[in-house]
Amino acid sequence: MKTAQSVLAQFSAQGVETCFHDRHLGAQIYAGLNGNNWRLKDYEARGGYAALRKILGKDGSEPLTQDQVIATVKESGLRGRGGAGFPTGLKWSFMPRQFPGQKYLVCNSDEGEPGTCKDRDILHFNPHIVIEGMAIAAYAMGISVAYNYIHGEIFATYERFEEALEEARAAGLLGDNILGSNFSFQLHAAHGFGAYICGEETALLESLEGKKGQPRFKPPFPASFGLYGKPTTINNTETFAAVPWIIRNGGQAYLECGKPNNGGTKIFSVSGDVERPGNYEIPLGTPFSKLLELAGGVRQGRQLKAVIPGGSSSPVLPASVMMEITMDYDSISKAGSMLGSGAVIVLDDTRCMVKALQRLSYFYMHESCGQCTPCREGTGWLSRMVDRIEGGEGRPSDMDLLNSVADNIQGRTICALGDAAAMPVRAMIKHFRHEFEHHVAHKTCMVDALV
Amino acid sequence: MISEATRARFAREAAKYPDNQRQSAVMACLAIVQQELGFVSPESEQVVAEFLGMAPMAVHEVTTFYNMYNQRPVGKFKLNVCTNLPCQLRDGQKALHHLEHKLGITMGQTTADGVFTLQQSECLGACADSPVMLVNDRHMCSFMSNEKLDQLVDELRGVASATVTETS
């Protein structure tokens, strides 16, 4: 007799398609994973926790000072992997280490940016790399307590992370006097329950305090007023996961994996119209054409039309631009978009851009927290207008009006969700205005839309 | 009233936070309530509020802000299908329509026998697994072709009718 559990277990992802495909380039975070080797002993067999031992002086060498750890991370060129791309070492140096009260470290695993699914595979198949990265960060900033806030939708991953925490505690890698040193560090897991906005760092802090996830005005920044009003550093899951390799191999070696100002490898989640959607860990600075090739190329031999290169909030770029750029913060920024969270949404030549924007605009309306008027009202307005264009009710003045509404949201809200709703609209109209005009004039699509 | 077992689960979550910040455990406690009772009732909010030392309205704010809390009873199996753009490009919308057709309901509704509730959902963070769906908040089902959707619905229906037979 089957139980609901056993029925559902048949449909659980195994990571074969998305992570263990052996099509990474110079993988560091995903290296050597197979789905069955996520436990502590396996991680240690891959060299895990050697970096923590090294900074604590438990591998026979001198311990590293806090300044040395931060300097190494600065030298590595590691930039935030969650979306903003802020230099990690610099962020760590903002933490007032001498502050006498409690300080907190927070990992942002609230991965809900449409297109992004990399942190889930890290946490599910290599949870200890995040624990080790967080322990090193906590040591460097003199922090004794941390939380990992995990997307509520990946509950099995949350439960696995808790299991990994238990393993680490039992082995003396978390808790009081880690490995016999005088460094003590407590790490706990928390979960969300369905709110995109909690990926914004101050909304995440509110949520972690047990409240509605409504973003806080900045300044003050979390480094001075964070969790429970205490100094707090927040980094993305992948950012922490990059740290052990940097400590083991040095900042310079990490920097050399990528390109100047864009150090290391980055995991790109490729979704949409490709043959092999999945996560691909590649050096920053790899040409987009190479990434597309790793992902099996455009589906069914169709032509590439456009790419949203950094998650749904980043401006769309046409195929001709994409095929010329390399995948790193500076190159994508120069092309007019953002590397963001590394979510690459690929659209082929059968896709209607109005319909694509319609779904995204609905999403931002649905997820606006309602705190700021321009976003609360503006996202609904944008969504209703794109709806009417798609539905054949559009007016010739609508494109300019869409731009105007987007202009009046962008830069006028507490957090970046308003900008995230506005940017796709402006970029879609900028690059594909003719499709919107066609919809208005002919009340139908230019392409035989399958979207 | 809550059972000792539930109280122990609450306590385990609250222990993660400083003594004067027990409110931080509200999300987890509400998720536990939902897992055990199927939804979050005003009475459950009251229980959580008392356990954590919060105002009941503060708990209600959390229940109503986050998408995944059920504010009223749902079917035995709640199916949330992601239809956001990356999933839409890979048949997410078609999966939702297939389920609507198969279950004879539209999204947002519950089947007459109370077995299934069907909902459209926003990004589940598993975009490369599309079509993807979440069952009862905690079970992610990946690569859900129409054949797999049929299999899932038929087998869960079998589980539901077996439980009814056992208890009657």
Identify all chain B residues contacting A277, using CB atoms and an 8 Å cutoff: 90, 127-128, 130
Question: pLDDT > 90: what percent of chain B?
Answer: 94
Alpha carbon of A63: minimum distance to chain B alpha carbons (Å): 30
Identify all chain B residues contacting A367, using CB atoms and an 8 Å cutoff: 122
Interface touch A2/B77, C-beta < 8 Å: no
Query: How many other C-beta atoms can be found within 10 angstroms of the C-beta atom of residue A24?
Result: 22
Q: What is the residue-level pLDDT of chain A in tens, covering all 451 positions?
A: 689 999 999 999 999 999 999 999 999 999 999 999 999 999 999 999 999 999 999 999 999 999 999 999 999 999 999 999 999 999 999 999 989 999 999 999 999 999 999 999 999 999 999 999 999 999 999 999 999 999 999 999 999 999 999 999 999 999 999 999 999 999 999 999 999 999 999 999 999 999 999 999 999 999 999 999 999 999 999 999 999 999 999 999 999 999 999 999 999 999 999 999 999 999 999 999 999 999 999 998 899 999 999 999 999 999 999 999 999 999 999 999 999 999 999 999 999 999 999 999 999 999 999 999 999 999 999 999 999 999 999 999 999 999 999 999 999 999 999 999 999 999 999 999 999 999 999 998 888 644 4
Mark which residues 75-94 of B lie under 8 Å from A by CB: 77, 83-86, 88-90
Interface touch B159/A3, C-beta < 8 Å: yes
Interface touch B127/A116, C-beta < 8 Å: yes
**Rounded Cα–Cα distance for residues A196 and A5 (Å):** 27
- Phi then psi dihedrals of residue A111, to 5 deg: -80, 95
Query: How many other C-beta atoms can be found within 10 angstroms of the C-beta atom of residue B157?
Result: 18
| Angle, in degrees to the nearest 10, between helices A237-249 and A66-76 | 100
Q: Closest partner residue to B159 among A7, A213, A272, by Cβ?
A: A7
Measured between CA atoms, the residue of chain A closest to residue B148 is A11
Interface touch A277/B159, C-beta < 8 Å: no
- Phi then psi dihedrals of residue A305, to 5 deg: -105, -50
- Phi then psi dihedrals of residue A277, to 5 deg: -60, 145
B52 — contact with chain A (CB < 8 Å)? yes
- What pLDDT is stored for residue A451 in this prediction? 43
- What pLDDT is stored for residue B166 in this prediction? 61
**Ranges of H-type helices in A266-335:** 288-294, 319-322, 329-334
CA quadruple A219, A222, A228, A234: dihedral sign: positive
Interface touch A119/B125, C-beta < 8 Å: yes
Alpha carbon of B39: minimum distance to chain A alpha carbons (Å): 13
**Rounded Cα–Cα distance for residues A435 and A446 (Å):** 6
**Amino acid letter at A55?**
I
Q: Closest partner residue to B85 among A120, A279, A312, by Cβ?
A: A312
In the 8-state DSSP scheme, what is residue A225? S
Interface touch B137/A269, C-beta < 8 Å: no
- Phi then psi dihedrals of residue A186, to 5 deg: -105, 130
Alpha carbon of B153: minimum distance to chain A alpha carbons (Å): 10
- What pLDDT is stored for residue B162 in this prediction? 86
**Backbone angle region of A342, left / alpha / beta, with phi > 0 → left and psi within -120 to 50 → alpha:** left
**Strands annotated E in A315-444:** 317-318, 326-327, 343-348
Interface A–B counts its CB contacts (< 8 A) at: 198
- What pLDDT is stored for residue A55 in this prediction? 98
Interface touch A211/B67, C-beta < 8 Å: no
Interface touch B126/A120, C-beta < 8 Å: yes
Interface touch A210/B25, C-beta < 8 Å: yes
Identify all chain B residues contacting A346, using CB atoms and an 8 Å cutoff: 89
Q: What is the pTM of this model?
A: 0.96
**Backbone angle region of A308, left / alpha / beta, with phi > 0 → left and psi within -120 to 50 → alpha:** beta
Q: Find which of A8, A236, A302 to mutate to test the B interface (most B CBs within 10 Å of its CB).
A: A8
Alpha carbon of A112: minimum distance to chain B alpha carbons (Å): 5
**Rounded Cα–Cα distance for residues A179 and A159 (Å):** 25
- What pLDDT is stored for residue B167 in this prediction? 54
Alpha carbon of B53: minimum distance to chain A alpha carbons (Å): 12
**Rounded Cα–Cα distance for residues B70 and B72 (Å):** 5
**Rounded Cα–Cα distance for residues A320 and A331 (Å):** 14
**Amino acid letter at A313?**
S
Identify all chain A residues contacting B121, using CB atoms and an 8 Å cutoff: 194
Identify all chain A residues contacting B142, using CB atoms and an 8 Å cutoff: 11-13
Q: Closest partner residue to A114 among B16, B85, B156, by Cβ?
A: B85
Q: Closest partner residue to A196 among B17, B123, B130, by Cβ?
A: B123
Measured between CA atoms, the residue of chain A closest to residue B122 is A363
**Amino acid letter at A408?**
N
Identify all chain B residues contacting A270, using CB atoms and an 8 Å cutoff: 128
| CB-based burial label for A52 (10 Å; 0-12, 13-18, 19+) | buried
- What pLDDT is stored for residue B2 in this prediction? 82
Interface touch B85/A228, C-beta < 8 Å: no
Identify all chain B residues contacting A146, using CB atoms and an 8 Å cutoff: none
- List, for residues B43-101, the tens digit of each pLDDT value: 999 999 999 999 999 999 999 999 999 999 999 999 999 999 999 999 999 999 999 99
Instruction: Give residue A263's Cα distance to chain centre.
Output: 17
**Rounded Cα–Cα distance for residues B24 and B17 (Å):** 7
Interface touch A11/B125, C-beta < 8 Å: no
Alpha carbon of A253: minimum distance to chain B alpha carbons (Å): 31
**Strands annotated E in A18-124:** 104-109
Bigger pLDDT: B162 or B120?
A: B120
Alpha carbon of B3: minimum distance to chain A alpha carbons (Å): 22
